[in-house]
Amino acid sequence: MTRYVYPFEEGDGQDRKRLGGKGAGLAEMSRIGLPVPPGFTITTEACNAYQASEQVPDGMMDEVWDHLAKLEGKLGRKLGQVERPLLVSVRSGAPISMPGMMDTVLNLGLNPDTAEGMARLTGNRRFALDSYRRFIQMFSNVVMHMEHAQFEHILEAVKHQASVRLDTELKEADLEEVIRRYKDLVHQETRRSFPDDPKEQLQMAILAVFDSWRNPRAIVYRRLNKIPEDLGTAVNVQSMVFGNMGDTSATGVLFTRNPNTGEPGMYGEYLTNAQGEDVVAGIRTPKEIAQMASEMPKTYQELVGVCELLERHYRDMQDIEFTVQEEKLYLLQTRSGKRTARAAVKIAVDLAEAGVITRDEALVRQDPDQVQRLLYRQIDPHAAVELLAQGLPASPGAASGKVVFTADEAEARGNAGEAVILVRPETTPDDIHGIVAAQGVLTSRGGMTSHAAIVARGMGKPAVTGCEAVRISLPDETFTVDGQVIAKDTVITIDGGSGRVMMGRVATVEPELSEEFTQLLEWADETRRLKVHANADTPEDAAKARAFGAVGVGLCRTEHMFMGQDRLPVVQAMILAETLEERQKALQQLLPMQESDFYGILLAMDGYPVTIRLLDPPLHEFLPDVRETEKELEDVKKAGRTADVDHLEAVLRRARSLFEFNPMLGFRGVRLGIVYPEIYAMQARAIFQAQARLLKEGHHPDVEVMIPLVGIPEELSRMKDMVEEINHEVGREQAVELPYKIGTMIEVPRAALVAGSIAEHAEFFSFGTNDLTQTAFGYSRDDAESKFLPTYLAEKILSDNPFMVLDRKGVGRLIEIAVAEGRAQRPSLKVGICGEHGGDPSSIEFCHLAGLNYVSCSPFRVPVARLAAAQAALKHRA
Amino acid sequence: MTRYVYPFEEGDGQDRKRLGGKGAGLAEMSRIGLPVPPGFTITTEACNAYQASEQVPDGMMDEVWDHLAKLEGKLGRKLGQVERPLLVSVRSGAPISMPGMMDTVLNLGLNPDTAEGMARLTGNRRFALDSYRRFIQMFSNVVMHMEHAQFEHILEAVKHQASVRLDTELKEADLEEVIRRYKDLVHQETRRSFPDDPKEQLQMAILAVFDSWRNPRAIVYRRLNKIPEDLGTAVNVQSMVFGNMGDTSATGVLFTRNPNTGEPGMYGEYLTNAQGEDVVAGIRTPKEIAQMASEMPKTYQELVGVCELLERHYRDMQDIEFTVQEEKLYLLQTRSGKRTARAAVKIAVDLAEAGVITRDEALVRQDPDQVQRLLYRQIDPHAAVELLAQGLPASPGAASGKVVFTADEAEARGNAGEAVILVRPETTPDDIHGIVAAQGVLTSRGGMTSHAAIVARGMGKPAVTGCEAVRISLPDETFTVDGQVIAKDTVITIDGGSGRVMMGRVATVEPELSEEFTQLLEWADETRRLKVHANADTPEDAAKARAFGAVGVGLCRTEHMFMGQDRLPVVQAMILAETLEERQKALQQLLPMQESDFYGILLAMDGYPVTIRLLDPPLHEFLPDVRETEKELEDVKKAGRTADVDHLEAVLRRARSLFEFNPMLGFRGVRLGIVYPEIYAMQARAIFQAQARLLKEGHHPDVEVMIPLVGIPEELSRMKDMVEEINHEVGREQAVELPYKIGTMIEVPRAALVAGSIAEHAEFFSFGTNDLTQTAFGYSRDDAESKFLPTYLAEKILSDNPFMVLDRKGVGRLIEIAVAEGRAQRPSLKVGICGEHGGDPSSIEFCHLAGLNYVSCSPFRVPVARLAAAQAALKHRA
């Protein structure tokens, strides 16, 4: 027959599954000789059997009584015995810590007789009565499901009647009154008497713990946190020790290190003459644990020793509950302590350096998503916040500033040193100068890949996009949220990590790359197989990426270079060109600008590969908005400015002819290169001219030319021939060899499906997983995230947003096909990923498994990627 | 040493590669005893050796002289001999018939002496001189590259001088004058005398044929028709026979059957007393071949016998050249005759029924694309056409009518019996009633999948879309093409098969499904493995599909049902609903309408499966245009119609909130079903209620419910559960079992990649290859076909438009994966295709190879699909 009950000293401290976390901790502490009040654990199996059969499992209560008797024998006390009454606590303890279940009943075993017995035994009748009223209150609440507040009302009434302020000031007679009124309340509400039989009390409490496994809050919590329904909870029955036996008694909780900073040394608080629930209830202000060093020096030293022992034993920072009964220390619980990301890093590194854990363990223990938060300015978690609206978390970081509505004003005031937030319905290439000068960007339209989002992420600047609750009136220079009108110059704060928009200036905390974090990342670098590159479009970004440890630029997008205020008119002239000659003329003007772009980036990444993607977006993205141009044209016509009319009409004509129903699937990427080869030719020439300059200056530019959106091998082959020819031309002109690699992005499914043939022409593949996800699923990210993806995630049709976490079954399969067939064709093929997934831990794990050579992500994600790559390597070490 | 020359009687009549088509025909006819003037063929290998080395191959001319000598011996005549001069023709003959090369020189061997010899020999000096002047003219033209017109001028001048009208009226002296002036012209233009040495003439003519392989027209022709450059041409040297030896001589061309209709009996024409080029030149009007029955009855009978023999021998209709020399018949050429699609069908069926060819051969000989033309009204190929503009061939068929610019006017006048063409910038659901009543549609915007194109194809109505040269002014009710203004009521003709827009009413010819075509399709049905279903949205379409031989509806789109004028307001109310209750109310109104839709279709296809796809397009497609609504709102505001203002503002708000950047990848298909399950629930109920009614009436509805755009197995599983529940509900209400199948479209790559899991919930897959092509390539069809695909096709980056011909390497691979993994999960899985590819022969061949169960195409493509499916089965018969 299954055994359901284990005394602490017999339980297996590793068997959290059977004993629950709390039971295992008590067993383990007992085993290693720490002062734990004796008791026993009823296993999770008992709970599961109870849930399955909906009745108390055969023999379970017999075992309980059996072990209770043994406990009584050991302690020389007896449950219900008047002379030497045994009191116990009953606590739940699931394998995974879980709020929502019944937690604790203390002082079980008291009734009118045993209370008097306790009074005599301790010589402290007030203590005995106080314990009894606490017991009634707790038992009624957690076992009999009565409202806590009703009891508090009675307590308050009696205190008022007795004209006292603190519970501790109540006299014995007052407490007798409280007990009487508590019992009346119970009878009145439940139509039964409060149980006086301690054995009945115990059985009721045990079954209440079992029942609480099924209460709605617990079920919801398990569903949200993907905790299996069949784990069940254990029940711990433990002999009571009393922190409320006067000034030499106390109760407290502590962490073995500071859970906010990770600094060594105990961190916690305690209350003298109190029971556990008083600390939590906040009735009296607890004291800091350091104070105990002077108040109870012996006990304090004992605690220090216990903390050291537990940390070494559990090899982690612990979260402890303890009670001091008349100067004697008892431990009631130990578990790994929750901590901030910052503390997690420091603690792990400190423990590894102290030899308590290995470096690998220090790496594995980090949550990369948590670690990411260390890298952005954040809203102070303690700050009070007036939430205005919720948008999409488009680019992380927090920023405060005055609201402005035009890029020009943002630029003027930002450059003058004022902190401003640029608020626009959506941004366009014309707004770049404003975004540069603003602290952050807020848009009412556009998704996670809208212009504002991409540009802001590229700059590492906070942005909230698609905040549809914000209704902007540009003429009035105001925006409205639910009727509240926000005027220009109002100070707001945005949190691009959470998508929150807040009123006023909210306090923020600075990011830091601590010494320990740096150390941890160095260990990660020794462990990981994947290289980490960064997506960087400017020398500044490239330098930032280097500082964060990137060993290459995996994606340098050239379109953002086209959007500078000095470039855009030339780019537009190139697009408006009606003949090849006109277009060539504009391209000639762009050539030196592009050359200097590439010079800067290659220099910033000197010695490391830089993958430059030729122009990708549809040309209409560089033209002004059609509607606005129409209006401008009307104005200009009224003013009779004929030359402007001609120009604007040409712009409109071209913009209309470039109009696309689905720009995401339109005339972009290599399709531009095929139809207008002169554009790619100019870019290739600019790259090789920059490379030649750098080589002559003694640098080591490592050039990779990437052709975007290839789906047909012939597309790449044609562009490759052209680039090759230009490489030779520039090489001859400059009399220097210009080694380079050419490759392609794999970002449409067909490219993956014909990867073998593409690899005939490609020296590297870079998976553009954002577009590959869009095309594999048939989702437009901008539309999906504002329309149906929220429902899909809420209803668990998708477990994750596939734009955040790479979809392994669909997109991942395409990647696997492409890697296998690409390498079969060309064993030396270099393969990486440059979508946003390149910075996501689960996606990085996939990339590791798929045998990629590198991941590339935004500079700010590089540290996380280094860590996640190491974790993947450790997890799947052969 | 390679042999370069073969006398006709020694050549292998099957070896077209070596002897060319003409040479092989002459050899074959010689072999089977037909009267062929003797001669020999110089092989294509000689030509290729000449091209490669740029000189006459060693020994080739020796062989020529050798075989010439044998020919002279056989005929008792000799080239250049005055007494019995041999004259020969020299003709090119490539393995594949090819215009652009040198064709023919007749009468070679004549010079002043042999001409007189011929005069004496034939007793006909006029004939000899006429032959000589013809020879000079032809030789100078085709061998010496002089202009034909210069010689014609001389001939005309002499005729004028002699005051005669016809060449045949010229006297000997006139012809002498012609010859003298011809020779002077040659000397003057080429600075050399016309060659009098017959051997020199022969060698020059042979090399001229070789050289003509390389002339620019021939090169262009080969490139366009994908004819390999290394085929080369053969040269045929044949002894002359003379159709110009008086009234018992003649020359002619004929087909063994009517090449337009396929009717049996000779079809052709001849000229008495003429040489071959006279028939072509059209100087005299040739006589119909039937006339020969009375004019030359013996020869005519002989010809009838020859035709029968050749048809039986070649097992096909032949195109013959013949000459009658003084009542003796000679055959100069035979080859398979070109024919119309209609004739091709009739001839093949007639030959098969006569036992000359097998039924399989009759099937294989049809070009499905040609056959397709039999099914639409076409522009009369003989009609004179004034081309106005060229658009996209969006929906085949030709139609004429008066130009109207609004759907309302099209409806009013169309229903009144007037033929009108609806001309719009693009069409919307609001225009359906106009399209129904018009003869055809012309739009200036939109691609092959624009609303107009899809609706028109569905109705089998001609449409030309994306005709950007047409600039429409709706206020003026005119459109302009290149400055030419076309007013309302002008009659135009559109040809949706070619995309042409023409002025005036152009004659058209009626389609027909002839007896033979019907017979052929029955044979196809016995042969094919693939079933052929049709895409049909209405009972009329379904009936049409049945008539064309479809055995099911593979795709019934429910969205078109939502667009009827009576439905649209209710659909819009459903979309504008702000609460579930409001939406349910609108859906309740739609329910009986949908039920009657489904009742009609299921009845029209009674006993055959009908696959009904639940709502697919994004909801904004059902709302009016935002800009137009804005204008309307302004007007309504001015008029102070408050209620209308509220409504229009609600419409605008909803339309804006439904706005999508990439509607193709947006909130549509099953995504609607997940977010608004009540819509699919209504449709499912309508289907089952219709089914219940039909069952009770004794019919046999075979229902398949299809969920569109599934990419995640869970999407289908949820919808399946809901449909199942509704099925049970209706079954209980109606007290009848309602058997049905549920399945999904596979139209995004991810669906194919997780097809195994999807098949757990799906009883059938239908490949939506239009969307699958869009997502696999990352192309928006509307954008691609107007932007870059033309360049891709012109530059051969793609060999075919992947929206017309299924891309086997990419899209096809996805299909193969889905079929294999779907069937592995569920062996009974039924698999078909319902994209436009379902009607394309190459795509149908792929479907056959991929093991699909059926293809589904538009009703008008059903016959072609039946044929193509049979051809695929024959081509890949194990």
pLDDT digits (tens, 9 = 90+) for B663-707: 999 999 999 999 999 999 999 999 999 999 999 999 999 999 999
Checking if the pLDDT of A747 tops 60, the result is: yes
Of the CA atoms within 13 Å of residue B68, those in its CB half-sphere come to 24
Chain B residues whose beta carbon lies within 8 Å of the beta carbon of residue A770:
none
Distance CA(A590)–CA(A572), nearest Å, equals 11
Q: What pLDDT is stored for residue A423 in this prediction?
A: 96
Q: Which long-range contacts (CB under 8 A, 24 or more apart) does B156-160 make?
A: B157/B181
Considering only the beta carbons, identify the residue of B671, B774, B811 that sits closest to A788.
B671
Distance CA(B451)–CA(B465), nearest Å, equals 10
A632 φ, ψ (degrees, to nearest 5):
-60, -40
Enter the DSSP assignment of A810. I
Which residue shows structure tokens 């209460």? A215
Which residue shows structure tokens 């043994």? A70
Checking if the pLDDT of A282 tops 60, the result is: no
CA–CA min distance B249, chain A (Å): 59
Checking if the pLDDT of B282 tops 60, the result is: no
Token duo for residue A878: 């052969």
Q: What pLDDT is stored for residue B281 in this prediction?
A: 58
Inter-chain CB proximity A665 and B667 less than 8 Å: no
Q: What is the mean pLDDT of residues B718-735?
A: 98
Q: What is the 3-state secondary structure (H, E, C) of B29-82?
A: HHHCCCCCCCEEEECHHHHHHHHHHCCCCCCHHHHHHHHHHHHHHHHCCECCCC
**Other beta carbons within 10 Å of A54:** 6
Any B CB within 8 A of A784 CB: yes
- Label residue A377 by pLDDT band (50, 70, 90): confident
Considering only the beta carbons, identify the residue of B750, B777, B780 that sits closest to A711.
B777
Identify the burial level of B329 via C-beta atoms within 10 angstroms of its C-beta, where 0-12 means exposed, 13-18 middle and 19 or more buried: buried
Q: What is the mean pLDDT of residues B627-652?
A: 87
- Label residue A498 by pLDDT band (50, 70, 90): confident
Any B CB within 8 A of A270 CB: no
- Label residue A629 by pLDDT band (50, 70, 90): confident
Which residue shows structure tokens 């000639």? A588
The answer to whether A763 and A705 are in contact (CB under 8 A) is no
Query: Which of these is catalytic: B67, B307, B433, B451?
Result: B451
What pLDDT, in 10s, does the model give residues B81-134?
999 999 999 999 999 887 767 778 999 999 999 999 999 998 889 999 999 999
Token duo for residue B208: 């001229």
Considering only the beta carbons, identify the residue of B675, B778, B784 that sits closest to A709.
B778
Q: What pLDDT is stored for residue A447 in this prediction?
A: 75
Closest by CA position to B463, among listed B490, B431, B488: B431
- Label residue A412 by pLDDT band (50, 70, 90): confident
Token duo for residue B607: 């006993």
Q: What is the mean pLDDT of residues B517-543?
A: 95
Percent share of chain B, pLDDT over 70: 98
Identify the sign of the CA torsion A99, A238, A268, A139. Answer: positive
Q: Residue B106 belongs to what H/E stretch?
A: strand B104-108
Considering only the beta carbons, identify the residue of B712, B778, B814 that sits closest to A665.
B778
Kindly write down the DSSP assignment for every residue of B390-420, as one continuous string. E-EEEE--EEEEEEE--HHHHHHHHHTT--E
Chain A residues whose beta carbon lies within 8 Å of the beta carbon of residue B782:
660-662
What pLDDT, in 10s, does the model give residues B221-277?
887 777 888 899 999 999 999 998 888 999 998 999 998 889 999 998 899 988 877
| B620 flagged as catalytic | no
CA–CA min distance B667, chain A (Å): 6
Q: What is the mean pLDDT of residues A686-699?
A: 98
User: How far out from the chain centre does Cα A372 lie?
Assistant: 7
Q: What pLDDT is stored for residue A182 in this prediction?
A: 96
Distance CA(B124)–CA(B249), nearest Å, equals 13
Q: How many helices (H) and strands (E) does chain A have?
A: 35, 31
- Label residue B202 by pLDDT band (50, 70, 90): very high
Q: What is the mean pLDDT of residues A776-793?
A: 89
Any B CB within 8 A of A621 CB: no
Enter the DSSP assignment of B218. H
Q: What is the mean pLDDT of residues A408-427?
A: 90
Distance CA(B119)–CA(B129), nearest Å, equals 8
Token duo for residue B229: 């450059």
Residue of chain A nearest B773, judged by CA positions: A750
Inter-chain CB proximity B665 and A814 less than 8 Å: no
Over the range A845-873, which residues count as b (16 or more CB within 10 Å of their CB) and which as e? bbbbebebbbbbbbbbbbbbbbbbbbbbb
Q: What pLDDT is stored for residue B280 in this prediction?
A: 58
B7 or A449, which is more confident? B7
Any B CB within 8 A of A760 CB: no
Inter-chain CB proximity B777 and A748 less than 8 Å: yes
Distance CA(B445)–CA(B442), nearest Å, equals 9
Inter-chain CB proximity A776 and B750 less than 8 Å: yes
- Sheet of A104-108, strand order: A5-7, A39-42, A234-239, A88-93, A104-108
Query: Which of these is catalytic: B47, B307, B556, B834?
Result: B834
Top mean pLDDT of A578-587, B96-105, B820-829 is at: B820-829
- Label residue A656 by pLDDT band (50, 70, 90): confident
Checking if the pLDDT of A448 tops 80, the result is: no
Closest by CA position to B443, among listed B484, B487, B489, B407: B407
Considering only the beta carbons, identify the residue of A715, A791, A809 that sits closest to B754.
A809
Residue of chain B nearest A468, judged by CA positions: B657
Q: What is the mean pLDDT of residues A800-816?
A: 96
Q: What pLDDT is stored for residue B629 in this prediction?
A: 87
Inter-chain CB proximity B797 and A665 less than 8 Å: no
Q: Residue B310 belongs to what H/E stretch?
A: helix B297-314
In chain B, what is the greatest distance between 2 CA atoms, to the nearest angstrom?
Answer: 109
Q: What pLDDT is stored for residue B766 in this prediction?
A: 98
A513 or A55, which is more confident? A55
User: Strand, coil or helix: what is B841?
Assistant: helix
Checking if the pLDDT of B166 tops 90, the result is: no
Instruction: Tell which of A716, A720, A753 to mutate to test the B interface (max B CBs under 10 Å).
Output: A753
Inter-chain CB proximity A783 and B663 less than 8 Å: yes
The answer to whether A623 and A568 are in contact (CB under 8 A) is no
Which residue shows structure tokens 């640029």? A422
Identify the burial level of A386 via C-beta atoms within 10 angstroms of its C-beta, where 0-12 means exposed, 13-18 middle and 19 or more buried: exposed
Chain B residues whose beta carbon lies within 8 Å of the beta carbon of residue A653:
none
Distance CA(A400)–CA(A419), nearest Å, equals 7
Inter-chain CB proximity A665 and B664 less than 8 Å: yes
Inter-chain CB proximity B792 and A711 less than 8 Å: no
Checking if the pLDDT of A373 tops 80, the result is: no
Mean pLDDT across chain A, nearest whole number? 92
Q: What pLDDT is stored for residue B168 in this prediction?
A: 80
Checking if the pLDDT of A264 tops 90, the result is: yes
Residue of chain B nearest A673, judged by CA positions: B788
Checking if the pLDDT of A318 tops 90, the result is: yes
Inter-chain CB proximity A753 and B771 less than 8 Å: no
Checking if the pLDDT of B559 tops 90, the result is: no
- Sheet of A470-473, strand order: A470-473, A478-481, A484-487
Q: What is the dihedral of CA B193, B197, B200, B202, to 10 degrees?
A: 120
Considering only the beta carbons, identify the residue of A718, A787, A798 that sits closest to B667.
A787
Phi and psi based region of residue A111 (left: phi greater than 0; alpha: psi -120 to 50; beta: remaining): beta
B395 φ, ψ (degrees, to nearest 5):
-155, 120
Inter-chain CB proximity B662 and A754 less than 8 Å: no
Distance CA(A790)–CA(A807), nearest Å, equals 16
Q: What is the mean pLDDT of residues A600-611?
A: 97
Identify the sign of the CA torsion A297, A298, A303, A308. Answer: positive
Distance CA(A785)–CA(B65), nearest Å, equals 84
In chain A, residues 627-686 whose CB comes closer than 8 Å to chain B: 660-667, 671, 674-675
B525 or A142, which is more confident? B525
Q: What pLDDT is stored for residue B342 in this prediction?
A: 83
The answer to whether A812 and A846 are in contact (CB under 8 A) is yes
Chain A residues whose beta carbon lies within 8 Å of the beta carbon of residue B718:
797
Q: What is the mean pLDDT of residues A645-663?
A: 87
| A451 flagged as catalytic | yes
Identify the burial level of A337 via C-beta atoms within 10 angstroms of its C-beta, where 0-12 means exposed, 13-18 middle and 19 or more buried: buried
Any A CB within 8 A of B747 CB: yes
Please state which of the ranges A528-542, B33-47, B624-638 shows the lowest mean pLDDT. B624-638
Residue of chain B nearest A657, judged by CA positions: B787
Q: What is the mean pLDDT of residues A598-605?
A: 96
Checking if the pLDDT of B363 tops 80, the result is: yes
What pLDDT, in 10s, does the model give residues A836-850?
899 999 999 999 999
Distance CA(A772)–CA(A817), nearest Å, equals 13
Residue of chain B nearest A450, judged by CA positions: B661
Distance CA(B140)–CA(B189), nearest Å, equals 10
Percent share of chain A, pLDDT over 90: 71
- Label residue B329 by pLDDT band (50, 70, 90): very high
Mean pLDDT across chain B, nearest whole number? 92
Closest by CA position to A570, among listed A642, A617, A616, A622: A622
